[in-house]
Chains A and B, each alone.
Chain A
Amino acid sequence: GGIITQTPKFLIGQEGQKLTLKCQQNFNHDTMYWYRQDSGKGLRLIYYSITENDLQKGDLSEGYDASREKKSSFSLTVTSAQKNEMAVFLCASSIEGTSAETLYFGSGTRLTVL
């Protein structure tokens, strides 16, 4: 079996700060995803990547950048953190990447902006 590791587990930032979240997977999956989870709103897709160096915008990409320099890693940058922002950011991967495949999730990074 494999695992998805997200770091850090908790991230506290200041308003306007640039913050980077990291994700590593050892499934050898092609496709990786970043989702944002807000209470009562479900999971919303920020970015996904179908292979190394590929980036595709999701529904919520404004205010975020992403990077996929290696097949096993996918990072997300909050370009300017918003005050009072609180959310959990979830990284996921799948074997081939069509949405009919099962997603495997990390345990999340919980962001708090002061």
Chain B
Amino acid sequence: GDSVTQTEGQVALSEEDFLTIHCNYSASGYPALFWYVQYPGEGPQFLFRASRDKEKGSSRGFEATYDKGTTSFHLRKASVQESDSAVYYCALGETNAYKVIFGKGTHLHVLP
């Protein structure tokens, strides 16, 4: 079945560091790929999505490029801020299904 793998459970960075959170997926066809962000005490909120090969999604300085060849959708940000500290979820969805598949999440800690 479909799956999403986030290899990092926790990432600790200093302000202005470069961020990469890895996301790999397994699915048939062309799923839509998402990043969601969850701040403490809140529900996950949509960050951005991409739905075809080589499409780049971006929001708030974060970006990821859909890569069907490597089945990846890695999240990157050039310069993180303390306010970016949150849990980030990669997710996959398909137009012929109702269930969104989430990765296990990556907890980002940004130190001032």
Contact = CB atoms under 8 A, between A and B. Distances in A.
Interface of A: 4, 31, 33, 40-43, 45, 48, 50, 56, 58-59, 90, 92, 97-108
Contacts of B34: 102
Secondary structure of the B contact surface, majority rule:
loop
Contact of A98 (B92, B98, B101, B102): B98
A104 B45 CA distance: 7
Given A40-B104, A41-B104, A42-B89, A104 B46 contact: yes
Given A100-B51, A105-B45, A42 B95 contact: no
Secondary structure of the A contact surface, majority rule:
loop
Interface residues of B, number: 28
Contacts of A33: 100
Given A42-B103, A101-B93, 10 more contacts: A31-B98, A43-B89, A45-B99, A50-B98, A98-B96, A99-B94, A100-B95, A103-B46, A106-B43, A108-B42
